[in-house]
Amino acid sequence: MDCEGWAEVEDVLLAVRCHKSQWRRFSRAQLLEVATTAFGNRFEIRGDRIRALYGHTVPFVETGIERIPPTVLFHGTNIHAYKSFKQNGLNPMARKYVHLTTDYRYAIGVGEAKDDGESICPEIAAQAAYKIGQRFWQANSHVWLTAAVASEFISPFKTRLRA
């Protein structure tokens, strides 16, 4: 993988095949289908190379374009996580960056994937954080990255109960 996160499709395919025995026959076509359909705008493919646009845990990989964020961004999560980061701020945990989005529905989907109960969607005052020096990177059309979010920029959440 290079410093922008690019890897050869064949190398990724080999890693996938070696990861689990049931994936030994995973084809290039299957890999490309998963990368282009299952994860929305998470992956980018150029020729014989592929990369994740965000979500890297590899320290040297930098993705996204540094930009001025929109006024408000959303973070999909669950009620348990919200209680923690409302007090301590929003931190990347095992990831390199905190993931935010302009897409409320996408954020709700992320929250639902994290918990069997209530998904919540706090609003992040992104421009206010930017104005005091917080840096933001745009990873794709709706995903934004930042190092952390102080609790003062996290508003009371919007909620949606699971059906």
Per-residue pLDDT at 121 exceeds 50:
yes
**Tokens 């609003």, residue located:** 123
Single pTM value for the model: 0.69
* Residues 5/45, Cβ–Cβ less than 8 Å: no
- Dihedral pair phi/psi, residue 47, rounded to 5°: 60, -120
The listed range with the strongest mean pLDDT (36-40, 96-100, 134-138, 140-144) is 134-138
Give pLDDT tens digits for 83-103.
888 889 999 887 788 989 999
Domain residue extents for the chain? 7-52, 65-160
Query: Which pLDDT score, from 0 to 100, does residue 163 have?
Result: 42
Structure tokens at 36: 């282009």
Predicted pLDDT of residue 146: 94
Q: What percent of the chain has pLDDT over 70?
A: 85
Q: Which residue has the tokens 């929250």?
A: 111
Long-range contacts of 138-141 (CB under 8 A, 24+ apart): 138/64, 138/65, 138/67, 138/69, 139/53, 139/54, 139/63, 139/64, 139/99, 140/41, 140/42, 140/53, 140/54, 141/41
Residue pair 147/100 in contact (Cβ under 8 Å)? The answer is no
Q: Which two tokens stand for residue 138?
A: 């745009």
The CATH architecture assigned to 65-160 reads: Alpha-Beta Barrel (3.20)
Higher pLDDT, 110 or 148: 148
Query: Is the confidence at residue 21, as pLDDT, over 80?
Result: yes
Residues 43, 36 contacting (CB under 8 angstroms): yes
